[in-house]
Amino acid sequence: MAKQRAESVIADSGKILREELLALLEGGNAHMSYGDAVAGFPMEDINRRVPHGSYTMWHLLEHMRIVQWDILEFTRNPEHVSPDFPDGYWPAPDKKATPAMWDKTVKGFRDDLDAIQGIVRDPKTDFFGPIPHARDYTVLREMLLVADHNAFHVGELVALRRVLNMNPVKEY
Alpha carbon distance 111, 117 (integer Å): 10
Mean pLDDT, range 28-53, rounded to an integer: 90
> Is residue 10's pLDDT more than 70?
no
Nearest to residue 65, comparing CAs of 32, 102, 36, 93?
102
pLDDT at 3: 57
In Å, how far are 30, 48, 137, 164 from 140, measured between CA atoms? 20, 36, 8, 36
pLDDT at 153: 97
> Is residue 44's pLDDT more than 60?
yes
55-75: per-residue pLDDT in tens?
A: 999 999 999 999 999 999 999
Mean pLDDT of the chain: 92
Percentage of the chain beyond pLDDT 90 is 78
Alpha carbon distance 67, 85 (integer Å): 11
Q: Taking the model in full, what pTM does it have?
A: 0.90
> Is residue 136's pLDDT more than 60?
yes
Q: Which domains occur in the chain, in start order?
A: 2-163 (1.20.120.450)
72-121: per-residue pLDDT in tens?
A: 999 999 999 999 999 999 999 999 999 999 999 999 999 999 999 999 99
